[in-house]
Chain A
Protein backbone atom coordinates (compact mmCIF):
# COMPACT_ATOMS: atom_id res chain seq x y z
CA UNK A 1 0.00 0.00 0.00
CA UNK A 2 1.28 3.43 -0.82
CA UNK A 3 2.38 5.62 2.01
CA UNK A 4 -0.32 7.65 3.67
CA UNK A 5 -0.02 11.39 3.50
CA UNK A 6 -1.93 12.87 6.42
CA UNK A 7 -1.59 16.28 4.87
CA UNK A 8 -3.29 14.98 1.80
CA UNK A 9 -6.10 13.43 3.83
CA UNK A 10 -6.72 16.67 5.66
CA UNK A 11 -6.72 18.92 2.60
CA UNK A 12 -8.90 16.46 0.71
CA UNK A 13 -11.43 16.30 3.49
CA UNK A 14 -11.59 20.01 4.10
CA UNK A 15 -11.29 21.27 0.55
CA UNK A 16 -10.47 19.20 -2.53
CA UNK A 17 -12.99 16.48 -1.78
CA UNK A 18 -15.33 18.47 0.42
CA UNK A 19 -18.39 16.28 0.74
CA UNK A 20 -20.90 19.10 0.41
CA UNK A 21 -19.18 21.26 -2.22
CA UNK A 22 -17.43 18.68 -4.38
CA UNK A 23 -18.97 15.29 -3.72
CA UNK A 24 -22.41 16.89 -3.24
CA UNK A 25 -23.30 14.30 -0.62
CA UNK A 26 -25.50 14.76 2.41
CA UNK A 27 -27.50 17.50 0.74
CA UNK A 28 -30.79 16.62 2.41
CA UNK A 29 -29.74 17.67 5.92
CA UNK A 30 -27.60 20.39 4.42
CA UNK A 31 -30.60 22.05 2.82
CA UNK A 32 -33.04 21.38 5.58
CA UNK A 33 -31.32 22.55 8.74
CA UNK A 34 -29.14 25.41 7.57
CA UNK A 35 -31.57 28.20 8.27
CA UNK A 36 -29.38 29.35 11.12
CA UNK A 37 -25.74 29.11 12.05
CA UNK A 38 -26.39 27.22 15.28
CA UNK A 39 -28.59 24.61 13.60
CA UNK A 40 -25.98 24.01 10.90
CA UNK A 41 -23.17 23.77 13.42
CA UNK A 42 -25.17 21.41 15.64
CA UNK A 43 -25.95 18.95 12.88
CA UNK A 44 -22.42 19.25 11.48
CA UNK A 45 -20.89 18.29 14.81
CA UNK A 46 -23.31 15.41 15.29
CA UNK A 47 -22.44 14.13 11.82
CA UNK A 48 -18.72 14.45 12.55
CA UNK A 49 -19.10 12.45 15.75
CA UNK A 50 -20.89 9.65 13.93
CA UNK A 51 -18.38 9.73 11.12
CA UNK A 52 -15.45 9.46 13.51
CA UNK A 53 -16.91 6.52 15.41
CA UNK A 54 -17.94 4.73 12.25
CA UNK A 55 -14.60 5.23 10.49
CA UNK A 56 -12.67 4.03 13.54
CA UNK A 57 -14.76 0.89 13.95
CA UNK A 58 -14.88 0.04 10.27
CA UNK A 59 -11.13 0.42 10.03
CA UNK A 60 -10.60 -1.74 13.12
CA UNK A 61 -12.61 -4.62 11.74
CA UNK A 62 -11.54 -4.23 8.12
CA UNK A 63 -9.50 -7.46 8.03
CA UNK A 64 -12.09 -9.86 9.25
CA UNK A 65 -15.41 -8.76 7.84
CA UNK A 66 -16.14 -10.75 4.72
CA UNK A 67 -16.63 -8.78 1.55
CA UNK A 68 -20.15 -10.11 0.96
CA UNK A 69 -21.55 -8.80 4.21
CA UNK A 70 -19.43 -5.72 4.63
CA UNK A 71 -22.08 -3.21 3.55
CA UNK A 72 -24.80 -4.52 5.89
CA UNK A 73 -22.23 -4.58 8.68
CA UNK A 74 -21.28 -0.96 7.97
CA UNK A 75 -24.92 0.08 7.96
CA UNK A 76 -25.48 -1.71 11.26
CA UNK A 77 -22.51 0.01 12.84
CA UNK A 78 -23.52 3.43 11.56
CA UNK A 79 -27.15 3.00 12.62
CA UNK A 80 -26.10 1.98 16.12
CA UNK A 81 -23.84 5.00 16.50
CA UNK A 82 -26.48 7.36 15.15
CA UNK A 83 -28.99 6.04 17.66
CA UNK A 84 -26.47 6.52 20.44
CA UNK A 85 -25.72 10.08 19.32
CA UNK A 86 -29.43 10.80 19.09
CA UNK A 87 -29.96 9.62 22.66
CA UNK A 88 -27.05 11.69 23.91
CA UNK A 89 -28.34 14.80 22.17
CA UNK A 90 -31.81 14.22 23.52
CA UNK A 91 -30.36 13.98 27.01
CA UNK A 92 -27.98 16.91 27.00
CA UNK A 93 -29.09 19.21 24.16
CA UNK A 94 -32.80 18.82 24.55
CA UNK A 95 -33.89 22.00 22.77
CA UNK A 96 -31.50 21.58 19.88
CA UNK A 97 -32.61 17.98 19.58
CA UNK A 98 -36.17 19.19 19.18
CA UNK A 99 -35.21 21.67 16.47
CA UNK A 100 -33.06 19.28 14.45
CA UNK A 101 -35.71 16.62 14.97
CA UNK A 102 -35.87 14.03 12.23
CA UNK A 103 -32.52 15.07 10.77
CA UNK A 104 -30.54 13.45 13.56
CA UNK A 105 -31.84 9.91 12.87
CA UNK A 106 -31.49 10.72 9.17
CA UNK A 107 -27.72 11.00 9.63
CA UNK A 108 -27.85 7.25 8.97
CA UNK A 109 -28.80 7.94 5.39
CA UNK A 110 -26.10 10.54 4.84
CA UNK A 111 -24.13 8.96 2.01
CA UNK A 112 -20.97 10.62 3.24
CA UNK A 113 -20.74 8.25 6.17
CA UNK A 114 -21.17 4.95 4.37
CA UNK A 115 -19.10 6.46 1.55
CA UNK A 116 -16.12 7.10 3.81
CA UNK A 117 -16.53 3.68 5.45
CA UNK A 118 -16.40 1.97 2.08
CA UNK A 119 -13.96 4.18 0.22
CA UNK A 120 -11.51 4.93 2.97
CA UNK A 121 -11.87 3.27 6.35
CA UNK A 122 -12.26 -0.26 5.00
CA UNK A 123 -8.88 0.00 3.25
CA UNK A 124 -6.78 2.14 5.57
CA UNK A 125 -5.31 1.88 9.06
CA UNK A 126 -7.18 3.14 12.09
CA UNK A 127 -5.21 6.34 12.63
CA UNK A 128 -5.55 7.47 9.04
CA UNK A 129 -9.26 6.66 9.09
CA UNK A 130 -9.69 8.77 12.19
CA UNK A 131 -7.93 11.71 10.56
CA UNK A 132 -10.03 11.23 7.46
CA UNK A 133 -13.24 11.24 9.51
CA UNK A 134 -12.33 14.42 11.35
CA UNK A 135 -11.26 16.22 8.17
CA UNK A 136 -14.30 15.17 6.18
CA UNK A 137 -16.55 15.92 9.13
CA UNK A 138 -15.13 19.37 9.71
CA UNK A 139 -15.29 20.14 6.01
CA UNK A 140 -18.96 19.23 6.03
CA UNK A 141 -19.57 21.16 9.26
CA UNK A 142 -17.84 24.22 7.81
CA UNK A 143 -20.16 24.27 4.81
CA UNK A 144 -23.23 23.71 7.01
CA UNK A 145 -22.18 26.55 9.30
CA UNK A 146 -21.25 28.91 6.49
CA UNK A 147 -24.52 28.28 4.68
CA UNK A 148 -26.44 28.57 7.94
CA UNK A 149 -24.68 31.81 8.83
CA UNK A 150 -25.30 33.44 5.46
CA UNK A 151 -28.95 32.40 5.36
CA UNK A 152 -29.51 33.62 8.90
CA UNK A 153 -27.71 36.87 8.22
CA UNK A 154 -29.50 37.61 4.97
CA UNK A 155 -32.79 36.15 6.07
CA UNK A 156 -33.27 37.76 9.45
CA UNK A 157 -30.23 39.93 10.05
CA UNK A 158 -28.85 38.01 13.02
CA UNK A 159 -26.00 35.64 13.79
CA UNK A 160 -25.77 33.05 16.54
CA UNK A 161 -29.46 33.23 17.33
CA UNK A 162 -30.26 30.30 19.58
CA UNK A 163 -26.60 29.83 20.54
CA UNK A 164 -27.72 28.86 24.05
CA UNK A 165 -29.22 25.69 22.61
CA UNK A 166 -25.73 24.45 21.86
CA UNK A 167 -23.46 26.24 24.32
CA UNK A 168 -25.64 26.76 27.37
CA UNK A 169 -27.23 29.84 28.88
CA UNK A 170 -24.04 31.94 28.79
CA UNK A 171 -24.27 31.96 25.03
CA UNK A 172 -27.62 33.72 25.00
CA UNK A 173 -25.73 36.99 24.88
CA UNK A 174 -23.79 35.99 21.77
CA UNK A 175 -26.62 36.74 19.43
CA UNK A 176 -25.70 39.55 17.11
CA UNK A 177 -28.39 41.68 15.58
CA UNK A 178 -27.08 43.82 12.78
CA UNK A 179 -29.82 46.34 12.55
CA UNK A 180 -33.03 46.22 14.53
CA UNK A 181 -34.98 47.58 11.57
CA UNK A 182 -33.69 45.02 9.10
CA UNK A 183 -36.80 43.77 7.35
CA UNK A 184 -35.42 40.31 6.59
CA UNK A 185 -35.33 38.47 3.31
CA UNK A 186 -37.75 35.62 3.63
CA UNK A 187 -36.41 33.88 0.54
CA UNK A 188 -33.08 33.16 2.21
CA UNK A 189 -34.75 31.23 5.03
CA UNK A 190 -37.15 29.27 2.87
CA UNK A 191 -35.88 26.16 1.02
CA UNK A 192 -35.01 27.97 -2.25
CA UNK A 193 -32.55 30.05 -0.25
CA UNK A 194 -30.68 26.86 0.63
CA UNK A 195 -30.27 25.92 -3.03
CA UNK A 196 -29.15 29.41 -4.01
CA UNK A 197 -26.79 29.62 -1.08
CA UNK A 198 -25.21 26.25 -1.79
CA UNK A 199 -24.89 27.11 -5.48
CA UNK A 200 -23.12 30.33 -4.57
CA UNK A 201 -20.75 28.52 -2.23
CA UNK A 202 -19.87 25.95 -4.92
CA UNK A 203 -19.27 28.72 -7.44
CA UNK A 204 -17.03 30.53 -4.96
CA UNK A 205 -15.01 27.39 -4.32
CA UNK A 206 -14.54 26.85 -8.03
CA UNK A 207 -13.47 30.47 -8.50
CA UNK A 208 -10.88 30.16 -5.75
CA UNK A 209 -9.59 26.88 -7.20
CA UNK A 210 -9.29 28.39 -10.64
CA UNK A 211 -7.48 31.43 -9.30
CA UNK A 212 -4.87 29.27 -7.60
CA UNK A 213 -4.51 27.01 -10.63
CA UNK A 214 -3.76 30.03 -12.76
CA UNK A 215 -1.30 31.39 -10.23
CA UNK A 216 0.48 28.07 -10.15
CA UNK A 217 0.63 27.96 -13.91
CA UNK A 218 2.18 31.42 -14.00
CA UNK A 219 4.70 30.61 -11.30
CA UNK A 220 5.84 27.41 -12.97
CA UNK A 221 7.41 28.57 -16.22
CA UNK A 222 8.26 25.11 -17.42
CA UNK A 223 5.56 23.81 -19.73
CA UNK A 224 4.98 20.91 -17.44
CA UNK A 225 1.82 18.98 -17.95
CA UNK A 226 -1.00 20.90 -16.32
CA UNK A 227 -3.26 19.07 -13.95
CA UNK A 228 -6.49 18.83 -15.84
CA UNK A 229 -9.28 21.18 -14.91
CA UNK A 230 -12.23 19.42 -13.46
Chain B
Protein backbone atom coordinates (compact mmCIF):
# COMPACT_ATOMS: atom_id res chain seq x y z
CA UNK B 1 0.00 0.00 0.00
CA UNK B 2 2.62 2.51 1.05
CA UNK B 3 4.92 3.08 -1.83
CA UNK B 4 7.70 5.33 -0.59
CA UNK B 5 8.66 8.62 -2.17
CA UNK B 6 5.36 9.51 -3.75
CA UNK B 7 4.85 13.13 -4.48
CA UNK B 8 3.43 14.42 -1.16
CA UNK B 9 1.28 17.02 -2.93
CA UNK B 10 -0.28 14.39 -5.03
CA UNK B 11 -0.98 12.21 -2.02
CA UNK B 12 -2.56 15.03 -0.10
CA UNK B 13 -4.67 16.16 -3.02
CA UNK B 14 -6.05 12.73 -3.81
CA UNK B 15 -6.83 12.23 -0.15
CA UNK B 16 -8.64 15.55 -0.08
CA UNK B 17 -10.51 14.69 -3.26
CA UNK B 18 -11.65 11.35 -1.86
CA UNK B 19 -12.76 12.98 1.36
CA UNK B 20 -14.55 15.75 -0.51
CA UNK B 21 -16.30 13.25 -2.71
CA UNK B 22 -17.66 11.39 0.28
CA UNK B 23 -18.67 14.62 1.98
CA UNK B 24 -20.78 15.45 -1.06
CA UNK B 25 -22.17 11.95 -1.22
CA UNK B 26 -23.06 12.00 2.48
CA UNK B 27 -24.72 15.40 2.22
CA UNK B 28 -26.68 14.20 -0.78
CA UNK B 29 -27.89 11.19 1.18
CA UNK B 30 -28.97 13.30 4.13
CA UNK B 31 -30.65 15.77 1.78
CA UNK B 32 -32.58 13.01 0.06
CA UNK B 33 -33.64 11.49 3.37
CA UNK B 34 -34.81 14.89 4.53
CA UNK B 35 -36.81 15.45 1.35
CA UNK B 36 -38.36 12.04 1.65
CA UNK B 37 -39.40 12.42 5.26
CA UNK B 38 -40.09 16.13 5.82
CA UNK B 39 -43.76 15.95 4.97
CA UNK B 40 -44.30 12.78 6.94
CA UNK B 41 -42.50 14.24 9.98
CA UNK B 42 -44.65 17.34 9.90
CA UNK B 43 -47.72 15.16 9.70
CA UNK B 44 -46.58 12.98 12.61
CA UNK B 45 -45.97 16.09 14.68
CA UNK B 46 -49.45 17.36 13.86
CA UNK B 47 -51.05 14.03 14.64
CA UNK B 48 -49.22 13.74 17.94
CA UNK B 49 -50.29 17.24 18.91
CA UNK B 50 -53.87 16.61 17.91
CA UNK B 51 -53.90 13.39 19.97
CA UNK B 52 -52.78 15.35 23.00
CA UNK B 53 -55.36 18.06 22.45
CA UNK B 54 -58.11 15.52 21.84
CA UNK B 55 -57.28 13.75 25.09
CA UNK B 56 -58.21 16.95 26.89
CA UNK B 57 -61.03 18.18 24.72
CA UNK B 58 -63.00 15.60 22.69
CA UNK B 59 -63.44 16.45 19.02
CA UNK B 60 -67.22 16.71 19.21
CA UNK B 61 -67.05 19.67 21.56
CA UNK B 62 -65.69 22.15 19.05
CA UNK B 63 -66.03 22.73 15.34
CA UNK B 64 -63.14 25.03 14.41
CA UNK B 65 -59.76 23.81 13.10
CA UNK B 66 -58.05 23.77 16.48
CA UNK B 67 -54.49 23.52 15.20
CA UNK B 68 -54.89 26.66 13.12
CA UNK B 69 -56.58 28.76 15.76
CA UNK B 70 -54.07 29.82 18.35
CA UNK B 71 -52.19 32.64 20.03
CA UNK B 72 -48.59 32.70 21.13
CA UNK B 73 -48.24 34.21 24.57
CA UNK B 74 -45.35 34.86 26.89
CA UNK B 75 -46.08 34.69 30.60
CA UNK B 76 -42.97 33.28 32.25
CA UNK B 77 -44.16 34.01 35.77
CA UNK B 78 -47.56 32.47 35.43
CA UNK B 79 -47.01 29.71 32.87
CA UNK B 80 -43.36 28.92 33.59
CA UNK B 81 -42.11 29.57 30.07
CA UNK B 82 -41.72 32.43 27.64
CA UNK B 83 -43.42 30.61 24.80
CA UNK B 84 -46.80 29.06 25.38
CA UNK B 85 -49.22 28.42 22.59
CA UNK B 86 -52.89 28.95 23.37
CA UNK B 87 -55.17 26.83 21.17
CA UNK B 88 -58.70 28.13 21.04
CA UNK B 89 -61.65 25.82 20.66
CA UNK B 90 -64.89 27.34 19.45
CA UNK B 91 -68.29 26.01 18.58
CA UNK B 92 -70.35 27.96 16.08
CA UNK B 93 -68.02 30.83 16.71
CA UNK B 94 -68.56 30.87 20.47
CA UNK B 95 -65.66 30.23 22.87
CA UNK B 96 -65.50 26.69 24.24
CA UNK B 97 -62.06 26.30 25.78
CA UNK B 98 -58.40 27.22 25.57
CA UNK B 99 -55.62 24.67 25.69
CA UNK B 100 -52.24 25.93 26.91
CA UNK B 101 -49.17 24.10 25.66
CA UNK B 102 -46.80 23.95 27.32
CA UNK B 103 -47.17 25.09 30.89
CA UNK B 104 -43.95 24.29 32.72
CA UNK B 105 -43.78 23.15 36.32
CA UNK B 106 -40.50 22.90 38.22
CA UNK B 107 -40.41 19.28 39.30
CA UNK B 108 -38.03 17.30 41.45
CA UNK B 109 -35.57 16.79 38.63
CA UNK B 110 -36.20 19.55 36.15
CA UNK B 111 -38.97 20.86 34.00
CA UNK B 112 -42.31 19.12 33.73
CA UNK B 113 -44.08 20.12 30.52
CA UNK B 114 -47.82 20.19 30.97
CA UNK B 115 -50.71 20.79 28.66
CA UNK B 116 -53.62 22.49 30.41
CA UNK B 117 -57.12 22.79 29.02
CA UNK B 118 -59.43 25.41 30.51
CA UNK B 119 -63.08 25.79 29.54
CA UNK B 120 -64.35 29.24 28.73
CA UNK B 121 -66.10 29.39 32.10
CA UNK B 122 -62.87 28.76 34.00
CA UNK B 123 -63.16 25.07 34.92
CA UNK B 124 -60.43 22.67 33.92
CA UNK B 125 -61.09 20.55 30.84
CA UNK B 126 -58.08 18.47 31.75
CA UNK B 127 -54.36 18.39 32.39
CA UNK B 128 -51.76 16.03 30.92
CA UNK B 129 -48.01 15.66 31.16
CA UNK B 130 -46.17 16.09 27.86
CA UNK B 131 -42.73 15.26 29.16
CA UNK B 132 -40.93 15.00 32.48
CA UNK B 133 -37.79 13.66 34.09
CA UNK B 134 -39.25 12.64 37.45
CA UNK B 135 -38.09 9.51 39.25
CA UNK B 136 -39.53 6.36 37.72
CA UNK B 137 -41.86 4.64 40.16
CA UNK B 138 -42.23 7.70 42.38
CA UNK B 139 -42.76 11.06 40.72
CA UNK B 140 -43.71 9.60 37.36
CA UNK B 141 -47.21 8.87 38.61
CA UNK B 142 -48.14 12.28 37.24
CA UNK B 143 -48.10 10.50 33.87
CA UNK B 144 -51.55 9.26 32.97
CA UNK B 145 -50.06 6.00 31.68
CA UNK B 146 -48.79 5.26 35.18
CA UNK B 147 -51.60 6.52 37.39
CA UNK B 148 -54.95 8.29 37.03
CA UNK B 149 -53.87 11.02 39.47
CA UNK B 150 -53.73 13.78 36.89
CA UNK B 151 -57.33 13.12 35.81
CA UNK B 152 -58.37 14.47 39.20
CA UNK B 153 -57.94 18.01 37.89
CA UNK B 154 -60.72 17.68 35.35
CA UNK B 155 -63.71 19.79 36.36
CA UNK B 156 -61.84 21.69 39.06
CA UNK B 157 -61.71 25.48 39.10
CA UNK B 158 -60.51 28.32 41.27
CA UNK B 159 -63.71 28.06 43.34
CA UNK B 160 -63.69 24.29 43.52
CA UNK B 161 -61.73 23.73 45.65
CA UNK B 162 -61.37 27.27 47.05
CA UNK B 163 -58.15 29.02 46.21
CA UNK B 164 -56.40 28.34 49.52
CA UNK B 165 -57.05 24.61 49.14
CA UNK B 166 -55.11 24.45 45.84
CA UNK B 167 -52.28 22.49 47.46
CA UNK B 168 -51.36 18.91 48.12
CA UNK B 169 -52.84 17.38 51.25
CA UNK B 170 -49.60 17.53 53.17
CA UNK B 171 -49.68 21.32 52.78
CA UNK B 172 -53.27 21.46 53.95
CA UNK B 173 -54.84 21.31 50.51
CA UNK B 174 -57.17 19.18 48.48
CA UNK B 175 -54.89 17.16 46.20
CA UNK B 176 -53.24 13.83 46.94
CA UNK B 177 -49.49 13.56 47.02
CA UNK B 178 -47.70 10.30 46.27
CA UNK B 179 -46.01 8.13 48.83
CA UNK B 180 -42.36 9.04 48.63
CA UNK B 181 -42.87 11.96 46.28
CA UNK B 182 -44.43 15.22 47.40
CA UNK B 183 -42.38 17.67 45.39
CA UNK B 184 -43.62 16.49 42.02
CA UNK B 185 -47.39 16.74 42.67
CA UNK B 186 -46.85 19.97 44.60
CA UNK B 187 -45.18 21.48 41.55
CA UNK B 188 -47.94 20.30 39.23
CA UNK B 189 -50.73 21.58 41.47
CA UNK B 190 -49.02 24.96 41.75
CA UNK B 191 -48.52 25.20 37.99
CA UNK B 192 -52.15 24.33 37.24
CA UNK B 193 -53.36 26.84 39.80
CA UNK B 194 -51.19 29.55 38.26
CA UNK B 195 -52.52 28.78 34.79
CA UNK B 196 -56.07 29.15 36.08
CA UNK B 197 -55.19 32.47 37.67
CA UNK B 198 -53.59 33.56 34.40
CA UNK B 199 -56.70 32.59 32.48
CA UNK B 200 -58.96 34.47 34.90
CA UNK B 201 -56.86 37.58 34.31
CA UNK B 202 -56.96 37.19 30.51
CA UNK B 203 -60.56 36.11 30.24
CA UNK B 204 -62.50 35.76 27.03
CA UNK B 205 -60.47 38.39 25.24
CA UNK B 206 -58.07 35.52 24.51
CA UNK B 207 -60.58 34.47 21.88
CA UNK B 208 -60.70 37.85 20.14
CA UNK B 209 -57.20 38.31 18.77
CA UNK B 210 -56.56 36.71 15.38
CA UNK B 211 -54.10 33.87 14.91
CA UNK B 212 -50.67 35.25 13.96
CA UNK B 213 -50.10 34.93 10.22
CA UNK B 214 -46.43 34.10 10.12
CA UNK B 215 -46.42 30.48 11.16
CA UNK B 216 -49.58 29.20 9.56
CA UNK B 217 -48.11 27.16 6.73
CA UNK B 218 -49.93 25.07 4.17
CA UNK B 219 -53.40 24.13 5.40
Contacts and interface: CB of A to CB of B under 8 A. Distances in A.
B41 interface: yes
B136 A88 contact: no
A77 interface: yes
B26 to A, nearest CB: 4
Nearest to B44: A94
Contacts of B41: 87, 90-91, 94
B30 A90 contact: no
Contact of A91 (B30, B37, B136, B138): B37
Contacts of A91: 37, 40-41, 44
A54 to B, nearest CB: 11
Interface residues of A, number: 30
Nearest to B138: A186
Interface string B57-97: 00000000000000000000000000000000000000000
Interface stretch (B16-24, B170-178, B184-192): B16-24
B137 A87 contact: no
B14 A77 contact: no
Interface residues of B, number: 30
B135 A186 contact: yes
Interface in A62-104: 64-69, 72-73, 76-77, 79-81, 83-84, 87-88, 90-92, 94-95, 98
Given A67-B2, A155-B137, A73 B44 contact: no
Contacts of A77: 22, 26
A190 interface: yes
Given A67-B2, A189-B136, A189-B137, A94 B45 contact: yes
A134 to B, nearest CB: 21
A68 B6 CA distance: 14
B19 A72 contact: yes
A92 B30 contact: no
Given A76-B23, A81-B29, A69 B18 contact: yes
A83 B101 CA distance: 29
B143 to A, nearest CB: 12
27 contacts: A35-B136, A64-B18, A65-B22, A66-B15, A66-B18, A67-B2, A69-B15, A69-B18, A73-B18, A76-B19, A77-B22, A80-B27, A80-B30, A81-B29, A83-B30, A83-B33, A84-B33, A87-B41, A90-B41, A91-B41, A94-B47, A94-B48, A155-B137, A156-B137, A186-B135, A186-B137, A189-B136
Given A35-B136, A73-B22, 13 more contacts: A66-B18, A69-B15, A73-B19, A76-B19, A87-B34, A87-B37, A87-B41, A88-B37, A91-B44, A95-B48, A155-B137, A189-B136, A190-B136
Interface of B: 1-2, 11, 14-16, 18-19, 22-23, 25-27, 29-30, 33-34, 36-37, 40-41, 44-45, 47-48, 131, 135-138
Closest 6 CB pairs of A and B: A80-B26, A84-B33, A91-B40, A94-B44, A91-B37, A186-B137
